[in-house]
């Protein structure tokens, strides 16, 4: 996600954004890598080789980013840092992992649903952002 208004943020908003994410103009969240499926569908309709020449090298860089940035233990399985990256967002499947109380799982409050998500971002940024400078 891109924060188009990053330059216009006040100090407090800038600070809150910065402690949650590595950057103020964009955040660390991404989506599932489904771009190749889209490219295949476009190519099947257009047979546009020039499009492949333009996009495939960018896709390769994108998947290298996934490998280098999100394969935290080097075992070939990428890690998502936030349920929004799974494509199923705030599915009830995440409720136990996010410690949403059982009685609230059908309709969690904003605090019950989003506090754990913000905590995940803070932990990731601390461990893989700030701490990585010292490790």
> Mean pLDDT throughout 88-92?
75
The single residue listed with the structure tokens 């233990």 is 73
Distance between CA 116 and CA 100 in Å, rounded? 9
Task: Please say if the pLDDT value at position 3 is more than 70.
Answer: no
Q: At what angle do helices 35-46 and 49-70 cross, to 10 degrees?
A: 170
Whether 134 is in a domain gets the answer: no
pTM: 0.55
Whether 10 is in a domain gets the answer: no
Closest CA relative to residue 17, chosen from 122, 116, 98: 122
Q: Which residue has the higher pLDDT, 119 or 132?
A: 119
Q: What is the pLDDT of residue 114?
A: 72
Whether 57 is in a domain gets the answer: yes
Q: Which residue has the higher pLDDT, 16 or 98?
A: 98
Whether 9 is in a domain gets the answer: no
Q: What is the pLDDT of residue 115?
A: 76
Distance between CA 24 and CA 2 in Å, rounded? 9
> Mean pLDDT throughout 10-14?
64
Domain of residue 66, residue span? 31-80
Ramachandran bin of 48, using left for φ above 0, alpha for ψ from -120 to 50, beta for the remaining angles: beta
Whether 44 is in a domain gets the answer: yes
To the nearest whole percent, how much of the chain has pLDDT over 90? 16
Whether 38 is in a domain gets the answer: yes
Total domains, the chain:
1
Q: What is the pLDDT of residue 135?
A: 47
Under DSSP, the state recorded for 30 is -
Assess contact for 3 and 27: CB atoms under 8 A: yes
Tens of pLDDT, residues 33-71: 788 899 999 999 999 999 999 999 999 998 888 888 888
CA distances from 80 to 14, 46, 55, 61 (A): 24, 33, 24, 18
Whether 105 is in a domain gets the answer: no
């Amino acid at each position: 996600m891109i924060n188009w208004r990053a330059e216009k943020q006040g100090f407090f908003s800038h600070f809150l954004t910065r402690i949650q994410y590595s950057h103020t103009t964009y955040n660390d969240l991404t989506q599932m890598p489904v771009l190749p499926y889209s490219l295949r569908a476009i190519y099947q309709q257009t047979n546009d080789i020039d499009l492949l020449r333009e996009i495939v090298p960018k896709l390769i860089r994108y998947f290298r980013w996934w490998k280098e940035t999100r394969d935290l233990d080097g075992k070939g399985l990428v890690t998502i840092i936030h349920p929004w990256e799974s494509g199923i967002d705030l599915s009830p499947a995440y409720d136990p992992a996010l410690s949403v109380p059982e009685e609230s799982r059908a309709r969690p409050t904003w605090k019950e649903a989003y506090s754990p998500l913000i905590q995940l971002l803070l932990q990731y940024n601390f461990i893989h952002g700030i701490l990585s400078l010292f490790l």
